[in-house]
Amino acid sequence: MTPVDNHLIALLPRQDRTRLLKLCEPVDLVLAQVLSDPGESTRHVYFPTHGFISLIAIVKGSPGVEVGMVGREGMLGVQLVLGVTTAPLHALVQGEGTAWRIGTRAFKRELAASTALQRSMNRYLYVLMAQLAESTACVRFHQIGPRLARWLLMSQDRSQASSFDVTQEFLAYMLGVRRVGITAAAGDLQRKGLIEYSRGKLTVLDRRGLEAASCGCYAADKKAYMDLLE
């Protein structure tokens, strides 16, 4: 792994970046690995370099729904910027890969010492808040098809791959809908030639077409990030 594999680390001045990386260790992100649960104390901060993590809101009596996603553009544990060590969401590795990991205490010390890190984290916190708000509205107001297209685009951005191994059950879990809804939505995207989906393997065939089929939430998420962190 190299520092530029994570965009937030790459944005730091060389001295700050070098100091932060000395405190980090490379770790694997294992598929379906749980990195945090709501209410638990945060032990580590993760800066993904490959792969991605789903942020899931757990609702009593239901399996929950995905409200955010973290890949090489971001980090897991941003609540520490607010001085809060308690994790707010269930964090699940959705795409296996690698990450830089740093202990909570070491991260807090470095955060206090680096103005550049503080600035980057504050901006990322805003971007993540916008993504969480956008996702909540998306679940409430948008149909399954456009939401599925958005999810596929976000996953492709973070995995840097056109194909995913994903079941309909998992997609239903991520989007908080019944499996029959995923079957219909995926079938529609496939008939339009935007994706190919067979036996748990999904391939994006037409990226531009998928962007057109997605709801406006995908473009809004991307704009918020580019405006503040590019």
Same domain for 123 and 26, yes or no, is yes
Q: Is the pLDDT of residue 3 over 60?
A: no
Residue keyed to tokens 């809101």: 57
Looking at residue 198, its pLDDT comes to 87
Same domain, residue pair 149 and 39: no
Is residue 73 included in any domain, yes or no? yes
Percent pLDDT > 70 in the chain is 98
Same domain, 20 and 108: yes
Angle of the 179-191 helix axis to the 168-175 helix axis, nearest 10: 110
pLDDT band at 173 (very low <50, low <70, confident <90, very high): confident
- Interatomic CA distance for residues 92 and 72, integer angstroms: 15
Based on the domain organization, do 209 and 121 belong to the same domain?
Answer: no
Q: Identify which of 122, 126, 144 has the alpha carbon closest to the alpha carbon of residue 214.
A: 144
Q: Are residues 86 and 153 in the same domain?
A: no
Tell me if 167 is assigned to some domain. Answer: yes
Domain range for 168: 143-214
**What's the rounded Cα separation, in Å, for the pair 172 and 125?**
27
Of 37, 32, 5, nearest to 21 by C-alpha is 5
Q: Which of 118, 138, 158 is the last residue of a domain?
A: 138
Give this prediction's pTM.
0.91
For residues 168 and 161, is the Cβ–Cβ distance under 8 A? no
Query: Would you state the pLDDT for residue 4?
Result: 61
CA angle 109, 10, 203 (to 5 degrees): 120
- Same domain for 126 and 92: yes
The kind and range of the H/E element at 90 are strand 90-103
Q: Are residues 20 and 66 in the same domain?
A: yes
Say whether both 61 and 116 belong to one domain. Answer: yes
Residue 230 lies in a domain: no
